[in-house]
Structure 1
Amino acid sequence: MSKEFSFPNSGTCSKQTNFVLNDDHTIESMEVIGGCNGNLKGICSIVRGMKAEQVIERFEDVKCGFRSTSCPDQIAKNLKKALAEMN
């Protein structure tokens, strides 16, 4: 089984993260709305098939310039929310 999630992003150029998580926490698909199109398409391609926990570990607390967050950090935060909802 898999479940679809959609969360707003905060403090970044990207506005929203949409993704599907499988029961074993692997990322089936991901799409980030807004932001740096090519970079985010690449990130979404890389994380496909990875465990959410691995992505969180790698992306959490990454900063974008002077901002206190980044698109990868928002992905990590949104994956954490999804895992909390699944448990």
Structure 2
Amino acid sequence: MEYIYKTKGTCSSKIKFNIENDVITDVEFTGGCNGNLQAIAKLIDGLTVDEIEKKLNGIICGNKSTSCADQLAKAVRCAYEKLNK
């Protein structure tokens, strides 16, 4: 299932990805630091929601209270919970 998450407090404005059961693939960010976000997308491709949360949850960017990586952790959890209602 394709899922789109609108980010909050980051340079990227949205994150699009596929979720099957709890596995995340095909992550794409809109906006943000293109090279870094492409790297994050490749590094987490095929990981589970729990694995992504453990690696990325709580990462901040500069003086912000979040980051694109932190928003991705929130996005995958949100998608997972909507799938399993």
Shorter-chain TM-score above 0.5: yes
RMSD across aligned positions (CA): 0.7
Decide whether the 8 Å contact of 2:60 with 2:67 is kept in 1. Answer: yes
Q: Alpha-carbon deviation of 1:28?
A: 2.2
User: Using CA pairs below 8 Å that are at least 6 residues apart, which structure has the higher relative contact order?
Assistant: 2
2:14 corresponds to 1:16: yes
Normalised by the size of structure 1, how large is the TM-score?
0.92
Q: TM-score, normalised by structure 2?
A: 0.94
Aligned equivalent of 1:7: 5
Query: Which runs of no fewer than 5 residues in structure 2 stay unpaired?
Result: none
1:63 matched to which residue of 2? 60
Q: Which runs of 4+ in 1 moved over 6 A?
A: none
Aligned-pair identity in percent equals: 35
Partner in structure 2 of residue 39 of structure 1: 36
